[in-house]
Amino acid sequence: MTGMTKKRDYSLVGESTRRAIETGLASAEWYHTDVSRKAIKELMQRSDGPAIRDTVIWIVAILASAAGGIYFWGSWWCVPFFFVYGLLYGSSSDSRWHECGHGTAFRTRWMNDVVYHIASFMLMRNPVTWRWSHARHHTDTIIVGRDAEIAVMRPPDLLRAALAFTGILDFRYSLPALVRQAFGKLTPDEKSYVPEMEQHKAVIAARWHVVIYIATIALAVYTRSWQPLVLVGLPRLYGTWHMVMTGLLQHIGLADDVVDHRLNTRTVYMNPISRFIYWNMNYHVEHHMFPMVPYHALPRLHELIKHDLPEPNPSIWHAYREVWPVLLKQLKYEDYFLKRELPPTARPYRGEFHDVNMSAAAE
Amino acid sequence: MADWVEACAVDDVDEEDVIRFDHGGRTFAIYRSPDDEFFATDGYCTHEQAHLADGLVMDDIIECPKHNGRFNYKTGQAKGAPVCVNLRTYPVKVEAGKVMIQIG
């Protein structure tokens, strides 16, 4: 262990940013498992079928649960319906946003765009700024000072992480951010990853979102009922827990400032319901290595390259049990991280690329 | 006057696919369309340094492997975020089973 812990600066225009650029960590060449062109080409193939099927199921389930919630409004029987509705609205929208943002869910571009915009609205995410922040996340995954989507920073704020399950923090950030953007104001961080020629689009998108929320609030006031808000907006609070539960596991407790997704990203085996909600993003190392592969082909990609990846966590529960002690250690020593073991069939980690951080892993 | 350079043999590129061609310190991408025509563009995505030859060809679109940015490889036109800058294209001809590109 070294006593040279350096405070991480997570702003995207600060000291860590400068260091990441100077050391070549920004926009670096990342490790990829060898896969033949033929095999990866086959896996990358797009089709509309699986996503249309899943989207029809998704929309029907959203409408049915909303209808049940409205029908039983005023009695406790509405609770299970809103539980399902919230889950679909506040959590599964994240994976739809993600996959359609990549343009891999459907073969047809406009289908990706339509679902992307609907899901962005559900999540209170500006569809323009978030598209660019996610591009940055893929370029510089968990590179401090570059990645705009680091969910749990070091040292970890455990209260904040726990509150994330309620959606309160996201809600508190997202809604004011949309209002700010609607007034034409982008932060320096946002300006660092949204190209100038795209920034006006972010403002227009934010205005649309804000108009819909104002209309929803007006309807709630007019009808003197919470119902419009429980259906639009508030699911971002009460339905977000599954998105956080699965999403946090993507990178939490693993290395930062490395250029090998096997070191900073986690694959977790999950139950079929969570996989439907999450659209197979539990195969997250695979997704980061080959973001062109659609969600429905990720299990096949996993089978193809698992010999070169750390053993996946067998369950969500197992993954959290693994993460918890790492977070506790990071409270005292923020350079600590979990270095996951590779199977004997894997190509080794390139330690020389990650000298600083590799020495920080205690096991 | 720009030179015609032999990039590859016709059979080196599968239908609806792309390969990389390096020449003179530059990288190009050579495409074979579904209707068996050949095209050439710069080899790197205009968004970030990624080889388009690792991407996916769908009809007349090449999708970048890194951020899924899309270009029309016949015209070079960027088709939307995260790519905003068009791709440079090059004239192509096929002679005696060889794909030739004119590099300016």
**Complex-level ipTM:** 0.86
A120 close to A134: Cβ distance less than 8 angstroms: no
- The answer to whether the CB atoms of A104 and B68 lie below 8 A apart is yes
- Give the residue extent of every domain in chain B: 3-103
pLDDT > 70: percent of chain A: 95
- The answer to whether the CB atoms of A128 and B81 lie below 8 A apart is yes
In a domain, A5, yes or no: no
Q: What angle do CA B72, B75, B78 make, to 5 degrees?
A: 50
pTM score, two decimals? 0.91
Amino acid sitting at position A323: V
Quote the DSSP letter at residue A346. S
Band (A363; pLDDT cuts 50, 70, 90): very low
In a domain, A237, yes or no: yes
The number of CA neighbours under 13 Å toward the Cβ of A170 is 29
Band (B103; pLDDT cuts 50, 70, 90): very high
Q: pLDDT at residue A357 above 70? A: no
Question: Mean per-residue pLDDT for A236-248?
Answer: 97
Tell me the per-residue pLDDT of B37-90, one tens digit each, with 9 for 90 and over.
999 999 999 988 899 999 999 999 999 998 889 999 999 999 987 888 999 999
Q: Which residues of A touch B47 (CB under 8 A)?
A: 135
- List residues bridging with A241 in a β-sheet: none
**Any CB–CB contact under 8 A between B88 and chain A?**
no
- The answer to whether the CB atoms of A104 and B67 lie below 8 A apart is no
- Which residue is closest to B63 within chain A, CA to CA? A292
Q: Which residues of B touch A139 (CB under 8 A)?
A: 48, 66-67
Q: How far apart, in whole angstroms, are the C-alpha atoms of residue A270 and residue A286? A: 15
Q: Which of A127, A136, A134 is nearest to A205 (CA)?
A: A127
Question: Mean per-residue pLDDT for A116-124?
Answer: 97
In a domain, A2, yes or no: no
Distance between A275 CA and the closest CA of chain B, angstroms: 23
In a domain, A123, yes or no: yes
How are the residues of chain A apportioned to helix, strand and coil, as percentages rounded to the nearest 5? 60, 0, 40
Question: Mean per-residue pLDDT for A100-124?
Answer: 96
Q: What phi, psi does A209 have (nearest 5°)?
A: -60, -45
Domain B3-103 matching CATH 2.60.40.10: the answer reads no
Measured torsion, CA atoms of residues A109, A112, A114, A115, in degrees rounded to the nearest 10: 170
**What residues make up the domain containing A49?**
15-358
- Which residue is closest to B85 within chain A, CA to CA? A197
- The answer to whether the CB atoms of B68 and A132 lie below 8 A apart is no
Question: Mean per-residue pLDDT for A16-28?
Answer: 92
- Which residue is closest to A45 within chain B, CA to CA? B56
Give the other-Cβ count within 10 Å of A96's Cβ.
26
Q: How far apart, in whole angstroms, are the C-alpha atoms of residue A120 and residue A133? A: 13
Q: Which of A297, A317, A94, A125 is nearest to A209 (CA)?
A: A125
A271 close to A41: Cβ distance less than 8 angstroms: no
Q: How far apart, in whole angstroms, are the C-alpha atoms of residue A58 and residue A224? A: 30
Of A280 and A340, the structure prediction assigns the larger pLDDT to A280
Q: Say if strands B56-58 and B38-42 run parallel, antiparallel, or are unpaired.
A: unpaired
Q: pLDDT at residue B2 above 80? A: no
Q: Is the dihedral of CA B50, B67, B60, A299 positive or negative?
A: positive
Which token pair is A272?
A: 């079929």
What pLDDT, on a 0 to 100 scale, did the predictor assign at position A3?
Answer: 46
B40 close to B89: Cβ distance less than 8 angstroms: yes
**Any CB–CB contact under 8 A between B32 and chain A?**
no
Query: Into how many domains does chain A fold?
Result: 1
Amino acid sitting at position A1: M
Mean pLDDT of chain A: 93
Distance between A192 CA and the closest CA of chain B, angstroms: 14
* Preferred mutation among A292, A293, A295 to probe B, highest tally of B CBs within 10 A: A292
Q: How far apart, in whole angstroms, are the C-alpha atoms of residue A256 and residue A144? A: 7
Distance between B77 CA and the closest CA of chain A, angstroms: 15
Distance between A64 CA and the closest CA of chain B, angstroms: 34
